[in-house]
A and B are shown apart, each in its own frame.
Chain A
Amino acid sequence: MGFGDTSYDVAHVLGGAMLLISFVLLYQRRIFSLVNALALQGMVLALAALWQGYVQGAPQLYLTALIAFTAKGVLIPIYLRRLVLQLPPARRAEPASGIGASMIAGFLLVGLSILVVLPATAGARVLAREDLAIALSLVLLGLLMMVTRRTALAQIAGLMTLENGLVLAAIGVAGMPLMIELSTAGLVLVIAVIAGVFVRVLHERFDSLDTSLLDPHRGEGP
């Protein structure tokens, strides 16, 4: 595999597109746009898994792609969108703080991941090293986002980017065992955190975790 080889090029560009979307996430202040970019990243991840499944002849990756598409591309974004709609409009944007600084930090993290991956993978193909560097950058950018952002939803976006990076690294390695289990486990983690945020929102609103307080709003109960 080398440059000019389609099977490699497509995987490479899909990884690059995910990294680009990570930077969009880092740059974006509005939470609605964050959710959209997150959905896009999930879909690109699904495409990457689909392509790797086709290239490696590994049908289990199709299942990974399906999981990524339905959960990260469609279901979680729809749910996050509904969470955002509950917020008052003034809180649908991050308070303006240090976008420029976090972009620079993101750039430095990508440089760091390149510097870390290169010696660690000495002897491997140049191209595999670059892909691994991209996946590691996604993980680090996700961490950065979780550290720098204040709102819970933006932190969820960081966590999902992190998890997308892990899955991207895993699908790029041919013959990786437990691929489906890995992506499902990551997903469960993300869903648990989203549930935690839901609970927090509930607690803020009603000073209680009793979901029966929600019933009157649905038109049920007393």
Chain B
Amino acid sequence: MKSEDTTQQIYERVDAIYRAESRRVFATLIRLLGDFDLAEEAVQTAFAAAVEQWPREGVPANPRAWLVSAGRFKAIDALRRRARFDATVGEAMKHIETITDPLASEQPEVEDDRLRLIFTCCHPALPPDAQVALTLREVCGLTTEEIARAFLTSASAIAQRIVRAKAKIRDARIPYDIPSRAELPNRLDAVLRVVYLVFNEGYAASSGNSLTRKDLSSEAIRLTRLFLELFPDPEAEGLLALMLLHESRRAARTTPDGEVILLDDQDRSLWDGQLIAEGAALVRKALSSRRFGPYTLQAAIAAVHTEAPSSEATDWDEIVGIYDLLMRVDPSPVVELNRAVAVAMRDGPEAGLQQMEALLAKGELDNYPLAHSTKAELCRRLGQTEQARASFEQALALTSQEQQRRFLEKRLAELE
């Protein structure tokens, strides 16, 4: 034992190592043991062994390798014991023989293991909500209770989602691997979609405890940073940029009592300059790669907004141009809706309303409250009060979100 380390100091180091390394150790143990639950158990027993042994023997030179080794040893031990009581664990016994020594091939594999874990948790054969829950639990290390709180659902619902996902990974044999080149574009999309879902849940949703919601957004940003560290990709950079640029406006988006403030009316001095600078630089980098996709283009639009000193001084022509690109890369009625808003800002409300009406006539946005409230805004600006009222009321009827309801009610009252 190193004499300068008191037991208390060693406990603190174990704590710090747990925070920094437990997900890495876990990711490697899944590869070695081939099973999520076995690996989780092994991580816990390995850290328990560390708490017990390190005060006596000192902290090893490479704590992570020690933990992986201890976890593997304990798991094999547990499997042997189980096999003795249960004849059907023959399968597991066969498995023991295939468990390789982690130290033989460890170092270069460790970062790959974290990437394997991300790709497996975001496998498109799993239901989207299960991908989200599994990623937050296994990659980010959130507890089931934390995930449930953030998604306003019960811990048992989240736990069941995770259990079913793990069962599918095991029974359908979803590989614990980095996808092949042929699969990569599709698989990368799935990872980015999970990240964006997590971010949006924290950013757009307003009910529930706003503090845990904010945590969800920072978790998505943290996850993307980790992913980029392991797997540099322009579109992932574009997504990180998009999230940073949205996040930069958080303080200006709502009043202290939680009312929505629209972009036009936001106090731009509240925007976070540091996040904007980082986001804008990432957008430029992603755009110059020429291998970008819809997230990068959305980030480019957000960058034009955040770099403008005011709504009037915004380069709306540039924004309409990026929406045109976006319509080519990833066309959707919602993109078209946003483009119509930009056209209204560039060419006046009449031109915008014309586009809105053509878009609504297609019927795809019938149940989308923002389409009706956008039309209402344009009518209001053109002095068409009756039409504005009808559209605001339609939007209100479709909205279940409390903040949005209050906002629309306020707008309706102002029409009087």
Q: Tell whether A and B belong to one assembly.
A: no
